[in-house]
Amino acid sequence: MKNTGKTGSKAPKVIPRAGHNVSRDEISKSALKVLYRLHKAGYQAFLVGGGMRDVILELHPKDFDIATDATPEEVRSLFGNCRLIGRRFRLAHVRFGREIIEVATFRAAANHKDDDSAHDTEGRIIRDNVYGTIEEDVWRRDFTCNALYYNIADFSIWDYTGGFEDVKNKRLELIGDPAQRLREDPVRMLRAVRFAGKLGFNIDKSVAEAMRGHTNLLANVPAARLFDEFLKLFQAGFAERTFDLLRQHKLFGELFPATEEELSNDESFLAFARAALQNSDRRVAAGKSVTPMFLLGVFLWLPIKKLAEIRRSEEKMSESQSLSLAAYEIVSQQQRRISIPKRFTVPMREMLALQPRFAHVHGKRAMNLLQHRRFRAAYDFMVLQSEVGLADPDLAIFWTDVQGQSADERANSFQLQAGQAAGKKRRPRRRRRRKPAQES
């Protein structure tokens, strides 16, 4: 493919303090401590990456990364609160209470046989600990908007790739040949979508074209890493926009193949997924917690429900049992793409298995449902379905009302429903006709 990506320059465009809007007031005190100590010890120290980009965009970032010519071991010698992590990339983490400042040594391309670097057969980088200069490090960055270096020595910005203009114009471009950069790390396709969704950036045409030919490479990415990306994609408050971009660029089906098949054929299921994404975004905006368990349950609901119907037809079991069994099977298939920890799959299965129980609104067993540890999640799931016409809205009203009642009112509600149900089932008795006596 023709190289249409941005290329790095050996000499940066230096933007002085008067030419940009980056203020140290927007940088955490912990990050400034690390920058100043590295500089005082005679090392180069730059704020770089997403934190730097978001400061320019005035988004008040909380995470800050630092690049330096100090090796990880030299960084550790300067900070007693530092530990080294990583195999693919060797990094220093400097901890200040709950805040961690990540410090990376400038990297270079691996051009020698004894370099500590390795690629898989598709070109994906699996290890890369080759250190270099800042001029070489810029090539190891992915997007131009993430390749801006804030120099603590004089508060200037060093721009090797035109990233400063790209940030101002909200343009997302890869550094170097887009196809090669995506082969090196296919997760960059997900990062492109995530940045576009979160920041409102436009993905450059060269990047979009390269993505079209490389979506299948996500199958080579470790499933555990893709789960981490799933969290970043769908729990940052821009889930619906990100979802649309993933589907637009044919990436969602690489993550959730069974879900994508159903979304393409069922408008009601698409509406349900969209309602869940909107709900998640509202919760994040309101500062409320979100759990990946719920959204995973939404995405996998229709494949699970269809398989449950098949399992019920094959052998005798309750609807709840068939849903639990089907959930186990579908999750096992899904794990090949995204490795979902047990702490999320187990409660998800319980939440889905409770759905049939909402149809029973009388008797002690119905009342006990309120005490189930997954009731609240299952209730929210059912209400969301009712909003898009996939569940009875009267049931949603009943279970909403009953939660706000006193113990006596609640007991009466369940008894009242029991009486109504019994009345519907009661039929007039029919006399048994006596058989005529047989003639002797």
pLDDT digits (tens, 9 = 90+) for 260-318: 999 999 999 999 999 999 999 999 999 999 999 999 999 999 999 999 999 999 988 99
| Number of helices and strands in the chain (H, E) | 20, 12
Instruction: Compute the distance between CA of residue 27 and CA of residue 48 in angstroms, rounded to an integer.
Output: 11
Residues with catalytic function? 63, 65, 142
- Give the global pTM: 0.85
Least confident of 55-69, 114-128, 244-258: 114-128
Which of 342, 265, 354, 250 shows the shortest CA–CA distance to 303?
265
Give 310 or 2, the one with higher predicted confidence: 310
Start-to-end C-alpha separation, the chain: 102
Confidence of residue 115 (pLDDT cuts 50, 70, 90): very low
Amino acid in position 277:
L
CATH class of residue range 13-220: alpha beta
> Structure tokens of 50?
């997403």
Residue 428: the pLDDT is: 46
What span, in angstroms and rounded, lies between the C-alpha atoms of 334 and 340?
8
- Quick one: average pLDDT of 28-55? 97
In DSSP terms, 148 is beta-bridged to 159
**Torsions phi, psi for 85 (to 5 deg):** -135, 170
pLDDT band at 130, cuts 50/70/90? confident
416 vs 95, which has greater pLDDT?
A: 95
Q: What is the pLDDT of residues 377-425, one digit of tens each?
A: 999 999 999 999 999 999 999 999 999 999 889 989 998 554 554 444 4
Tell me what percent of the residues of the chain surpass a pLDDT of 90: 82
Residue 294 CA to residue 284 CA, distance in Å, equals 14
Which parts of 173-219 are beta strand (E)? 202-203
Over residues 330-346, the mean pLDDT reads 96
- Taking only the tens place, the pLDDT of each residue in 189-230 is 999 999 999 999 999 999 999 999 999 999 999 999 999 999
The answer to whether 76 and 92 have CB atoms below 8 angstroms apart is yes
Q: Mean per-residue pLDDT for 153-180?
A: 97
- The length of the chain is 440
Nearest to 165, CA basis, from 201, 140, 193, 113: 201
Confidence of residue 2 (pLDDT cuts 50, 70, 90): very low
The pLDDT of residue 90 is 86
Q: What is the pLDDT of residue 427?
A: 47
3-state helix, strand, coil in the chain (%, to 5): 55, 10, 35
Please state, for a pLDDT cut of 70, what percent of the chain lies above it: 88
How would you class 387 by CB atoms within 10 Å of its CB: exposed for 0-12, middle for 13-18, buried for 19 or more? middle
DSSP assigned state of 131? B
Per-domain boundaries in the chain: 13-220
Task: Supply the pLDDT for residue 353.
Answer: 97
> Residue 4 phi/psi, 5° resolution?
-115, 5
Q: What is the mean pLDDT of residues 326-348?
A: 96
Which pLDDT band, with edges at 50, 70 and 90, does 67 fall under? very high
